[in-house]
Amino acid sequence: MTSSNSTDGNVRVGVYVCHCGSNIAGVVNVFEVAKWAQENLVEQGVVVAKENKFMCSSLGQKLIEEDIQKENLDRVVVAACSPHLHETTFRGAVSRAGLNPYLCEMASIREQVSWVTSDQTAATEKAKAMVAGAVARVRQHVPLESIRVPINSSTLVVGGGIAGIQASLEIANSGFHVYLLEREPSIGGHMAQFDKTFPTLDCAACILTPRMSEAGMHSNIELLTWSEVENVEGYLGNYTVTVRKKARYVDTSLCTGCGICQQKCPKNVIDDQFEVGLGYRKAIYTPFEQAVPRFPVLDKDNCIFFEKGTCRACEKFCAPGAIKLEDQDEIITLNVGNVILATGYDMFDARRIPRYGYGKLANVFTSLEFERMCNAAGPTNGAIVLRDGRTPAKSVGIIHCVGSRDHKFNAYCSAICCMQSLKFAHLVKERTGADVYNFYIDMRTAAKDYDEFYQKVLEEGTNLIRGKVAEVIDGGLFDEKAGQLIIQVEDTLIGKQRRIPVDMVILAIGLEPKQDAANVAHQFGISRGANGWFTEKHPKLDPVATMTDGIFIAGCAAGPKDIPASVSQGSAAAARVVSYIQQKELSLEPVRAYIDAEQCSGCRICNGLCPFHAISFDELKMVSEVHQALCQGCGTCVAACPAGAVTGSGFTNQQVLAQIEGLLSVPIHADVLQAVAA
């Protein structure tokens, strides 16, 4: 019993081998490969085999189109780069010539052969094998038609940071409805906490708050603050999202946002959220003056009334009687066509690096704490002082890469810390004239006007020491430098260990994925990379889309970014969504699974396997069925079906098995490789 019997023997295949300039031709003998295919794959149905300098060029594509006409080919194989780069290109060419685009197959002889193989002969042999595999596979291809689904025109944006706000405004301005969901009482995100923004040094609040209020008042934007996503169902164009609106204990329809309740509330609470533990707030509060919406929330855990049952100060003084102490969480359901996740980031917990003394040494601060300290509206009204709240710092050490670029914590570069640290250096200089030491591994100032800013900071006489700080020690222990902190570091540019006394240390802590990113990813059915950030559909060519149709990502949710980058991603995601909405109806990749009811025995083995709940069981017919729009095409059910009743179009058993046979049909030449080894 053999497998390759699905299509008739007389298919006509055209093989096209790309030089990619010298990228492929430099290592693989493309002429030999083409010739070999022409001669040896005849019984496989190969009628033409050609090589060309650049297959992806218009000329290369033309070549294919003409051959399809002339030689009336019904299958095409392009041996070139990775399909992830040019599959669409060549499918386009094929369909322009009137063939079904899915009758084209690529062999990645650049990424998988020429670029990774040193020996030419070995590379050429492997290239032949891959062509043989592709030909064998394409013989089994069948025309596929994509599936069409309608698109609901409203959109859910999760996360009210600058990226989320930007995305919402873009979509709203193009006339479509947006739900902007935020976990905190106000939108604004981390940017609202910052003081100045590099490199232009304009104050964060001044540029952010107008956007916030615009979003707050926009007729197409519905704000859902103090809310969290409970559950997500559906697929591109038709998502159903369940949202929990947490009890605010304030009736937003009555509240005027006058703030009297906050004045009168007797309970002082350390503000771990907005003031990152450096300042105080009341039990009923808006996180900051310009909060949007301006309605406060009541923090149940700290409220005297919820502790003791008495107080009600807020209630007494609230003129419109907006305080609603019996308020309850509310569950609402949204129907949206697309989702943009702009869920942002968490800051690295500096306590994980005890040798830097954060939490033990009073005058070690984190960058976010320092942002608040510098902020005129912050706990010190912008004064740069030691933990005691009055003594100004005379010398400040700023440590870069805290928790970043370190395999024990986060191996990646947090991208913003260099500029942020330089900004701090400038602010300290500007406001206190204190000595500033920046300890860096590499100075990364690669964006418009960033290096100019670096120059400026150099000019101000900041001490830049190239070296990763080893430890921060309390000078009082020895060295008679009581109260001072000693930064021990190797100054790698002079190759000596230095021990530098300072009054204040700022740790430029890195960015990390939200601690609940895993849940979010699971809820929305998207994946995360090794470091926990959401994965883009393509890191370069499709940075705001995800692998799941209709779910987009923007800002730091996909990795560390500065404000300009986050904003442009917000806009980009919005643009993608709007283009979907305007198409009203969308076609999905036809790589889907379907079940042959005749063969299905209803054993229900596949039923539990689908993470997208695309497989259902028909109790009457006693067979399982796949919901085409829900199916994402992973093929797990195909592989798992004991009866072989499930077919995964685009990756059928026949296709894969044929490709395996083809790949292995070209033997490996020991002598060739022996030569390589020698």
Contacts with another protein in 567-606 (CB under 8 A)? 591, 598-605
CB 419, min distance to another protein, A: 19
HEC string of 292-322? CCCCCEECHHHCHHHHHCCCCHHHHHCCCCC
Of 30-38, 72-80, 326-334, 611-619, the segment contacting another protein by CB under 8 A is 611-619
Other C-beta atoms lying within 10 Å of the C-beta of residue 346? 15
Beta strands 485-491 and 496-502, pairing class:
antiparallel
CB 526, min distance to another protein, A: 8
Residues 418, 406: Cα–Cα separation, whole Å = 15
Candidate list 262, 445, 628, 653; residue touching another protein; CB under 8 A: 653
Pick between residue 209 and residue 432 the one whose CB is nearest to another protein.
432
Q: Which amino acid is at 177?
A: H
Phi-psi group of 148: left, alpha or beta (phi > 0 → left; psi -120 to 50 → alpha; rest → beta): beta
CB 170, min distance to another protein, A: 27
What is the size of the binding site for another protein (CB under 8 A)? 125
Q: Per CB under 8 A, does 529 bind another protein?
A: yes
Candidate list 7, 242, 380, 571; residue touching another protein; CB under 8 A: 380
Interactions with another protein, residue window 213-272 (CB under 8 A): 270, 272
Of 91-99, 230-238, 319-327, 358-366, the segment contacting another protein by CB under 8 A is 358-366
C-alpha torsion sign, points 24, 28, 29, 32: negative
Pick between residue 123 and residue 212 the one whose CB is nearest to another protein.
123
Candidate list 308, 310, 407, 448; residue touching another protein; CB under 8 A: 407
Alpha-carbon distances of 250 from 100, 260, 262, 378, 463, rounded to whole Å: 60, 13, 12, 26, 51
CB 179, min distance to another protein, A: 25
Q: Per CB under 8 A, does 286 bind another protein?
A: no
Candidate list 387, 584, 613, 621; residue touching another protein; CB under 8 A: 387
Q: Which amino acid is at 350?
A: A
Token pair for residue 521?
Answer: 């990813």
Spell out the residues 6+ positions from residue 345 whose beta carbon is closer than 8 angstroms to its own: 190, 511, 512, 513, 514, 556, 557, 560
Candidate list 10, 253, 319, 495; residue touching another protein; CB under 8 A: 495
CB 597, min distance to another protein, A: 9
CB 303, min distance to another protein, A: 20
Candidate list 173, 174, 463, 488; residue touching another protein; CB under 8 A: 488
Interactions with another protein, residue window 12-31 (CB under 8 A): none
Phi-psi group of 415: left, alpha or beta (phi > 0 → left; psi -120 to 50 → alpha; rest → beta): left
Q: Per CB under 8 A, does 150 bind another protein?
A: no
Interactions with another protein, residue window 82-101 (CB under 8 A): 82-84
Q: Per CB under 8 A, does 8 bind another protein?
A: no
Interactions with another protein, residue window 618-647 (CB under 8 A): 622, 632-636, 638-645
Q: Per CB under 8 A, does 202 bind another protein?
A: no
Candidate list 43, 301, 459, 671; residue touching another protein; CB under 8 A: 671
Q: Are 447 and 564 in contact (CB under 8 A)?
A: yes
Pick between residue 129 and residue 265 the one whose CB is nearest to another protein.
129
User: Length of the chain in residues, anyone?
Assistant: 678
**Of residues 15, 13, 81, 11, the one with CA closest to residue 50:** 15
Q: Per CB under 8 A, does 496 bind another protein?
A: yes
H helices of 239-356, in order, are 260-264, 304-308, 313-317
**Residue 78 phi, psi (nearest 5):** -115, 115
**Of residues 176, 184, 186, 175, the one with CA closest to residue 156:** 176
Residues 77, 87: Cα–Cα separation, whole Å = 11
CB 111, min distance to another protein, A: 3
Q: Per CB under 8 A, does 358 bind another protein?
A: yes
Token pair for residue 249?
Answer: 């204990």
Of 145-153, 200-208, 419-427, 518-526, the segment contacting another protein by CB under 8 A is 518-526
Pick between residue 460 and residue 491 the one whose CB is nearest to another protein.
491
Candidate list 142, 443, 547, 575; residue touching another protein; CB under 8 A: 547
CB 612, min distance to another protein, A: 8
Pick between residue 325 and residue 377 the one whose CB is nearest to another protein.
377
- Residue 223, beta-bridge partner list: 180
Q: Per CB under 8 A, does 125 bind another protein?
A: yes
Spell out the residues 6+ positions from residue 643 whose beta carbon is closer than 8 angstroms to its own: 599, 600, 601, 603
Interactions with another protein, residue window 427-456 (CB under 8 A): 441-442
The angle that helices 653-665 and 120-139 make with each other, rounded to 10 degrees, is 150
